[in-house]
Amino acid sequence: VFDYPDKESKFYPMPTRANRDKHKLLKKQLPDHIVPAGRCGTYRYIDMDQAVAEAMILAEEINTKWEKTQAQN
């Protein structure tokens, strides 16, 4: 599944059932090492401060997971 913007598209995802379903389908197709984030990655409209805050939390979660993996090796 691909999602291409066109002249009818908004610059951000609209909170519709179709978009939530599309997000679930796209997320299932991602390899484990790809983590969707931000407006486009989560298919949600969020303000920039929310996007940055979520990115910082996500980065910490990824770092913690990586450190645990390294400690096991």
Q: For the chain, what is the HEC assignment?
A: CCCCCCCCCCCCCCCCHHHHHHHHHHHHHCCCCCCCCHHHHHCCCCCHHHHHHHHHHHHHHHHHHHHHHHHHC
The answer, yes or no, to whether residue 61 has pLDDT greater than 80, is yes
Structure tokens at 42: 């989560």
Mean pLDDT in the chain?
Answer: 85
Give the predicted TM-score (pTM) of the model: 0.67
Residue 5: per-residue pLDDT: 65
**Is the Cα dihedral 33, 37, 40, 42 positive or negative?**
positive
